[in-house]
């Protein structure tokens, strides 16, 4: 069976002291959990504190983004090797905010996935449709294109080394959550798309749901057969909410 993964995406929030307090709060509660794997993805400047505080715990650390290149004259970027050196196990790649505000294409996202794996970490590949695309009945077409672009560039075997997060853009930070049935339908579609190329990889790949997941809706979403965890934005900024979602994943 696939172990649930609950990952917190803190986005660009917090201060050094609030980040440390949040990490400590998550650690305290995480000790009482057993089944779900828990990861936190703070902003880059707080990774050093994250590495220090989560050491010797089961909580994993992740980056929110990474440069496509290994090193060199890329002002403002952060390399995969740097993230690995600061203890990251996961890196979020192709979040819709990166795709929308920073022009990340499927080709750029595929390069990021590859360099994360080369550096010994696991990418969390984000895919999802806009409200407009959903209303036009194009959800599956959009998701298929995002998945197929990675298969074309990195090969189907690359899906054995990554996690997927289905994040309907209309549900991110809006308070509107996909219903468990809507989410399950897309998760099943993603799994079938991958299984169509490689049955074993399709059965094994974890597909997280992201988009206004909260303590109140987490267990209904996480009980769906193809929802293997959550990528949590707003609710990851309060330890008790994040831990309640983690408990729902147990």
Which of the residues are catalytic? 95, 167
Tell the smallest beta-carbon distance from residue 174 to ligand PEP (Å).
Answer: 7
Q: What residues have CB less than 8 Å from 69, skipping those under 6 apart?
A: 77, 79, 115
Task: Note whether 246 binds ligand PEP by CB under 6 A.
Answer: no
Question: Does 11 count as an annotated binding residue?
Answer: yes
Q: Are 173 and 137 in contact (CB under 8 A)?
A: no
Considering only residues 212, 221, 241, 243, which one is a binding residue for ligand PEP as defined by CB under 6 A? Answer: 212
Q: What is the DSSP letter of 109?
A: H
Task: Note whether 40 binds ligand PEP by CB under 6 A.
Answer: no
For residues 148 to 187, the per-residue mask of contacts with ligand PEP, x marking binding by CB under 6 A and - elsewhere, is -------------------x----xx--------------
Tell the smallest beta-carbon distance from residue 50 to ligand PEP (Å).
Answer: 18
- 3-class DSSP assignment, residue 62: strand
Task: Note whether 226 binds ligand PEP by CB under 6 A.
Answer: no
Task: Note whether 5 binds ligand PEP by CB under 6 A.
Answer: no
Phi, psi of 216 (to 5 degrees): -75, -25
**What is the gyration radius of the CA atoms in the chain, in angstroms?**
17
Tell the smallest beta-carbon distance from residue 229 to ligand PEP (Å).
Answer: 12
Question: Does 217 count as an annotated binding residue?
Answer: no
Helix (H) or strand (E) holding 123: strand 122-127
Q: What is the DSSP letter of 3?
A: P
Helix-helix angle 239-248:215-222, to 10 degrees: 20
CB nearer to ligand PEP: pick between 153 and 182: 182
Tell the smallest beta-carbon distance from residue 96 to ligand PEP (Å).
Answer: 7
Q: Where does this chain touch ligand PEP (CB under 6 A) — which range of 55-63, 70-78, 111-119, 209-217?
A: 209-217
Q: Are 177 and 136 in contact (CB under 8 A)?
A: no
Please give the span between the terminal C-alpha atoms of the chain, in angstroms, as a whole number: 13
Task: Note whether 84 binds ligand PEP by CB under 6 A.
Answer: no
Question: Does 234 count as an annotated binding residue?
Answer: yes
CB nearer to ligand PEP: pick between 178 and 197: 178
How many chain residues are in contact with ligand PEP, going by CB under 6 A? 13
Question: Does 94 count as an annotated binding residue?
Answer: no
Measured CA to CA, the distance from residue 250 to residue 233 in angstroms comes to 19
Task: Note whether 234 binds ligand PEP by CB under 6 A.
Answer: yes
Q: Are 35 and 246 in contact (CB under 8 A)?
A: no
Measured CA to CA, the distance from residue 3 to residue 222 in angstroms comes to 12
Q: What is the dihedral of CA 83, 65, 47, 25, to 10 degrees?
A: -130
Considering only residues 42, 94, 211, 249, which one is a binding residue for ligand PEP as defined by CB under 6 A? Answer: 211
Instruction: List residues binding ligand PEP (CB under 6 A).
Output: 9, 167, 172-173, 210-213, 231-235
């Amino acid at each position: 069976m696939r172990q649930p993964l609950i990952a917190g995406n803190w986005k660009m929030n917090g201060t050094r002291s609030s980040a440390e307090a949040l990490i400590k709060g998550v650690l305290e509660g995480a000790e009482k959990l057993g089944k779900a794997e828990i990861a936190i993805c703070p902003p880059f400047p707080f990774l050093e504190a994250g590495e220090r505080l989560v050491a010797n715990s089961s909580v994993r650390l992740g980056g929110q983004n990474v440069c496509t290149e290994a090193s060199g004259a890329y002002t403002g970027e952060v390399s995969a090797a740097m993230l690995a050196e600061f203890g990251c196990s996961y890196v979020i790649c192709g979040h819709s905010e990166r795709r929308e505000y920073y022009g990340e294409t499927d080709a750029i996202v595929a390069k990021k996935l590859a360099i994360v794996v080369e550096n010994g970490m696991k990418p969390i590949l984000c895919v999802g449709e806009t409200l407009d695309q959903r209303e036009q009945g194009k959800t599956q077409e959009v998701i298929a294109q995002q998945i197929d672009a990675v298969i074309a560039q990195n090969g189907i075997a690359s899906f054995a080394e990554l996690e997927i997060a289905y994040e309907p853009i209309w549900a991110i930070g809006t308070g509107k959550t996909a219903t468990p049935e809507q989410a399950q339908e897309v998760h099943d579609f993603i799994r079938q798309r991958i299984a169509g190329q490689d049955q074993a990889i399709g059965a094994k790949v974890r597909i997280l749901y992201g988009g206004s997941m909260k303590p109140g809706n987490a267990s209904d979403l996480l009980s769906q057969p193809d929802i293997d965890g959550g990528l949590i934005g707003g609710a990851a900024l309060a330890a008790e909410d994040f831990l309640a979602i983690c408990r729902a994943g147990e």
